[in-house]
């Protein structure tokens, strides 16, 4: 089936159409997005301005028509910190629904963190043991940890790259005092968040999602996105630390010349790099791996799971699989025996 995912983020508004079915990797069919920094459309009271609301509703109406034109069967529409924390967020959600017919689901920080972790787990599979996942957005930084499909700990802290740039880095490039103050604030927030998490085992795999981490990996030598999602990409603390110092001295225009940095994100990439560096330091991480799946993929996969539970999607079975009475098969006489002379079937029944 064709699913649409409408993501109202802090930097962009993005509609992704994917062809997906149970047991298969979601394949992108079409994408429609536009740069829209909602944090730049906040007034002094923290409310989204009339201009920002018009741009938002205009794009959402356009996205709904795009999804219908390409025969999307389902549309998942959600928003994260940009609307979640706006002083008039609820009123904006009501206006969007009234003018476009699209009802946006407001994800909490914990939900955003958990669904991103879910996508990372599905991407890595069970070959990974415990997973610690980092995701730096425009408004918040999500951290999640666990060994199951959903995390046992999921938090969201107000350390988004766009937010920090707006609130702490007024100059371009930032002054040394601004950098020092921001670093102290980020460190304090992360040390508080770290206390929510258990001691990491030696089998913990550290992953990172989001455009910020992909850009940092690219700047430290990882393969470009054009080489596809299956090329392993990593980020080492030893390489990130000098990069942060370098970015602090550069203007946004100079950063935009670096590989993996767009003009849209050039101003905020330093704040994102500083958060990544401090997170790796606080959690004691030497290297992490970049995961190409994140929140959108997590919501798609969760939606497919829910459709199966509701009976709206049939669970496919391979020939000869799924139609065997397993209990009856185990009771059949077995030619093989285990040490001690007990039939295999009897051993299995005893184990249960």
Give the list of residues 6+ apart from residue 96 with CB closer than 8 angstroms, or none.
Answer: 56, 57, 60, 102, 103, 104
Q: Where are the domains of the chain?
A: 2-106, 109-297
Q: Which of 3.30.413.10, 1.10.3720.10, 3.30.420.40, 3.20.20.70 is the CATH number of 2-106?
A: 3.30.420.40
Q: What is the pLDDT of residues 58-114, one digit of tens each?
A: 999 999 999 999 999 989 999 988 888 899 999 999 999 999 999 999 999 999 999
Task: Identify the three-state secondary structure at position 28.
Answer: strand
Domain 109-297 carries which CATH code?
3.30.420.150
Instruction: Tell me which residue has tokens 């770290």.
Output: 194
Tell me the backbone φ, ψ of residue 74, rounded to 5 degrees.
-150, 145
Taking the model in full, what pTM does it have? 0.85
Domain 2-106 shares a fold with domain 109-297: yes
The token pair at 200 is 């990491």
CB burial class (10 A; 0-12, 13-18, 19+) of residue 341?
A: exposed
**Residue 134, Cα to own-chain centre: how many angstroms?**
8
At how many degrees (to 10) do helices 237-248 and 269-283 cross?
A: 150
The token pair at 142 is 């999500």
Q: What is the pLDDT of residues 12-57, one digit of tens each?
A: 889 999 998 777 788 999 999 888 888 788 898 989 999 999 999 9
Q: Please state, in angstroms and rounded to a whole number, the distance separating the CA atoms of residues 193 and 185.
A: 13
Q: Please state, in angstroms and rounded to a whole number, the distance separating the CA atoms of residues 351 and 180.
A: 61
Tell me the backbone φ, ψ of residue 156, rounded to 5 degrees.
-130, 130
């Amino acid at each position: 089936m064709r699913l649409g995912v409408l993501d109202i983020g802090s930097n962009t508004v993005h509609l992704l159409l994917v062809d997906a079915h149970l047991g298969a990797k979601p394949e992108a069919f079409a994408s429609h997005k536009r740069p829209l920094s909602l944090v730049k459309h906040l007034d002094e009271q923290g409310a989204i301005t009339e201009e920002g609301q018009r741009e938002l509703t205009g794009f959402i109406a356009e996205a709904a028509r795009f999804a219908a034109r390409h025969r999307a069967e389902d549309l998942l529409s959600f928003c994260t910190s940009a609307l979640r924390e706006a002083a008039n967020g609820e009123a904006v959600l009501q206006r969007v629904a009234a003018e476009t017919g699209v009802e946006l689901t407001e994800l909490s920080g914990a939900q955003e963190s958990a669904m991103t972790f879910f996508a990372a787990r599905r991407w890595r599979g069970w070959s990974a043991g415990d997973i610690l996942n980092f995701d730096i957005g425009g408004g918040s930084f999500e951290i999640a940890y666990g060994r199951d499909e959903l995390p046992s700990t999921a938090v969201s802290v107000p350390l988004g790259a766009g937010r920090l740039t707006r609130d702490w880095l007024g100059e371009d490039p930032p002054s040394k005092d601004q950098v020092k103050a921001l670093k102290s604030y980020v460190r304090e927030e992360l040390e508080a968040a770290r206390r929510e998490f258990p001691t990491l085992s030696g089998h913990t795999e550290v992953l990172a999602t989001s455009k910020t981490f992909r850009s940092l990996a690219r700047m430290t030598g990882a393969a470009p996105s054009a080489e596809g999602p299956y090329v392993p990409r990593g980020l080492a603390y030893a390489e990130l630390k000098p990069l942060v110092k370098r970015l602090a001295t550069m203007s946004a225009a100079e950063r935009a010349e670096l590989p993996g940095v767009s003009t849209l994100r050039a101003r905020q990439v330093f704040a994102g790099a500083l958060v990544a560096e401090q997170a790796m330091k606080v959690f004691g991480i030497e290297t992490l791996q970049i995961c190409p799946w994140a929140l959108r993929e997590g919501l798609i996969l969760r939606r497919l799971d829910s459709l199966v539970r509701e009976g709206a999607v049939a669970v496919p079975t391979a020939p000869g699989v799924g139609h065997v009475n397993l209990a009856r098969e185990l009771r059949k006489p077995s030619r093989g025996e285990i040490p001690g002379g007990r039939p295999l079937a009897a051993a299995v029944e005893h184990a249960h």
